Chains A and B, each alone.
Chain A
């Protein structure tokens, strides 16, 4: 499947090597997208790190990781927070590892956000001069070098964005054993043949993260941005 779309086969070995075999001609931007996405997720997994699917923002209290299903609005919320002066720490993949004291740390990732055309329009930002992530998609790279945090940050909170049919955004704590399940649900998705063998270590690390980090579900209504209200809820929560 990946082979047909990316035009290449990928083999990731020992968390240190990515071998690429070009199968047929394809766009280098498309190849790069999968390299930085699925392949990097596999590398992190093989290294015993926890790759979460989402964005991370640096705050005075540590890293906020924004997770959620595809389409829930992680990147859009990250863009609002970026506009409010927060530094971007990671985009798309958040690499979490435990330091020698067992504290979860988020590593700096890619200094960019990927935003769709409608989101740019919402921010009254033109796509002129911006590079598409792939020629075929109306989705753009937004460089954030001017507001990028290049240093690892302790993980403070994980917010899971979800779309609901209630009229206003809301925030709900996730507690107890549900925290572990929630984190597991938001690992970066990839198909790894050896995933089963690596799972016991991952489970142990995830349990530690679940104990140490605050986890919340942040819900927003479908089809209505209400971004400021959503960002206000997140800010009020992590500052509390």
Chain B
């Protein structure tokens, strides 16, 4: 029972969280290499499934794989070959249950989850670049309750098919379901504007000791300009091909320069309730302005 799910809708700061955690855990003299981060791939990684299932997922249907994923995570949690006390696994899946009611992410394999949330207005801008789509497509994609990835029936992808759903239902699936394990919510904007306290709370949640000097160093080593420099020098293996750079802008509030009034209105119509809940929308309809904090991972 040692898995900590690092869960988020795409483009919400998951990579930044992994970079920080890698730097804190390794506690080395130099920043961790962004191409050698801790944590074995994503929950929907096909090779992870094949390794623990012991059968070829390429011979299975999407539904069979989905039904087998909880068992795979249990085996992963029980794997004592490398005996980590904490096993962090990135997840973009919404929190769902199998047809028989069994949760995709079993509580008996899980210590907890960290859910990273970001203003959907900025998520739309960021995902447009990542998925090489138009802003209208990004907005529509974020509202699509049936949104899934790697769902083709005609080819094999290195990711297993996974379900995103709409942005607000993704958030609620992780935060409002009876998961059976503790879930700690982190706002991207707090990571940027109040990094020390925000990351200290993450460490406390997972049960790691908070050592101030170590924490300050990990924050420095995971700063946006450090990541950008590394990407310029050596590339970043997790950058999708059409994108020129993964560590692109990192600003909070860049939606103001990019979204049209119609796109803004659409996102608010689609996700206003959850936006209000997390401080991204107030009753006066004026969104909180960024306090001019440091730019970070976009």
Q: Interface of A with B (CB < 8 Å)?
A: 1-2, 4-5, 33-34, 37-38, 69-72, 92, 116-119, 121, 133-134, 136-139, 163-167, 189-191, 221-224
Contact = CB atoms under 8 A, between A and B. Distances in A.
B154 A165 contact: no
A116 B153 CA distance: 9
Would you call the interface of chain A mostly helix, strand, loop, or mixed? loop
B50 A189 contact: yes
Interface of B: 46-47, 50-51, 53-61, 64, 67-68, 71, 152-158, 235, 237, 239-241
Contact of B57 (A33, A70, A167): A70
Nearest to A30: B59
B55 to A, nearest CB: 5
A121 B111 CA distance: 45
A2 B72 CA distance: 12
Contacts, number: 86
B120 to A, nearest CB: 26
13 contacts: A1-B53, A1-B68, A4-B67, A5-B60, A37-B59, A38-B56, A69-B46, A69-B47, A118-B155, A138-B153, A139-B58, A191-B53, A222-B241
Contacts of B59: 33-34, 37, 133-134, 137, 139
Contacts of B61: 136-137
A70 B55 contact: no
A160 to B, nearest CB: 12
A69 to B, nearest CB: 5
Contacts of B152: 118
B56 A37 contact: yes
Contacts of A1: 53, 55, 68, 71
B152 to A, nearest CB: 8
Nearest to B49: A70
B235 A116 contact: no
